[in-house]
Chains A and B, each alone.
Chain A
Amino acid sequence: MTLTTADKALVVSIFGKVSSHKEAYGAEALFRLFSSFGQSKTYFSHFDLSQGSADLKRHGAKVLGALGEAASHLDNLDQALSKLSDLHAYNLRVDPANFQLLSHSIQVTLAAHFPADFTPEAQSAWDKFISAVSGVLTSKYR
């Protein structure tokens, strides 16, 4: 699966609008994840998972920040995400199924905040993008 030039442009342009709201939107995506898919809470027993909590804001910003890093290195995701890949493989060991759940939650958040921008083509680009990122993060699992 490759991101076309058009895909990359859509990822970069929408991320541009997200970047000043990383805490709020990141927290929202995480809260949507935990609300719809309770099993994902297993990795966050040390967090305050209430809506808008400081933990969710901090972690949400971190997750979206990492996606932003990825968006600036679309031609070299392996290298850009190498440390995070190690972290997920050897330390966190997040079940790969959860990446898809988080991807969905992020996409609902983006669609709700940018309804005019989140066209089917934009959705396709973001779905592929987050899929590619998830692939790198799980690449060293086994």
Chain B
Amino acid sequence: MVHLSADECKDVSAVFSKVNVDQLGGESLASLLIVYPWTRRHFKTFGNLSSTDAILHNAKVQAHGAKVLGAVRDALKHVANLGGHFAHLSDLHCQQLFVDPANFKLFAGIVSIRVGQTMRQAYTPHVQASFEKFLDAVTDALAKGYH
């Protein structure tokens, strides 16, 4: 299990306070579908995902991305038991949607890049390391449903 120190939690909290979570979530999900096109197969009910432009203007993508990043942000309060906190969502992703856990890491990577784009030099290597450690812990918890 991943342990985040108090300082690391503070870094993560600071990141979430400096970004617009809804907007960043929407942009991150859109970017995932653009940069890694094979991920589109999990979102067949979202309508038009056939081009970069269509994806960037897709309201369902924006809404779902906002939901996902909101859930990641809220998970910070449960960092001592992410496995338990995400048990239901993990089952959903792993037992019903059959999402390859590698995709969680791809999404986390994109979120980190987008945070860098937003916070620029304020996203120091140190803060990035804390934030990515947290995202790692979240993605690991989500992948638990496979075992």
Residues of A near any B CB (own CB < 8 A): 28, 31-32, 35-36, 51, 104, 107-109, 111-113, 115, 118, 120-121, 123-124, 127
Chain B interface, DSSP helix/strand/loop, else mixed = helix
Question: A36, B128: Cβ atoms under 8 Å?
Answer: yes
Question: B52, A120: Cβ atoms under 8 Å?
Answer: yes
In angstroms, how far is the closest chain B Cβ from the Cβ of A103?
9
Measured CB to CB, the nearest residue on chain B to A127 is B35
In whole angstroms, what is the CA distance A113 to B118 when docked? 10
> For chain B, which range describes its interface: under 10, 10 to 19, 20 to 34, or 35 or more residues?
20 to 34
A-B contacts at CB below 8 angstroms, number: 57
Question: A115, B113: Cβ atoms under 8 Å?
Answer: no
In angstroms, how far is the closest chain A Cβ from the Cβ of B37?
9
Question: A108, B112: Cβ atoms under 8 Å?
Answer: yes
Residues of B near any A CB (own CB < 8 A): 27, 30-31, 34-35, 52, 56, 109-110, 112-114, 116-121, 123, 125-126, 128-129, 132-133
> Given the interface contacts A112-B120, A115-B117, does A120 sit within 8 Å of B34 by beta carbon?
yes
Question: A120, B125: Cβ atoms under 8 Å?
Answer: no
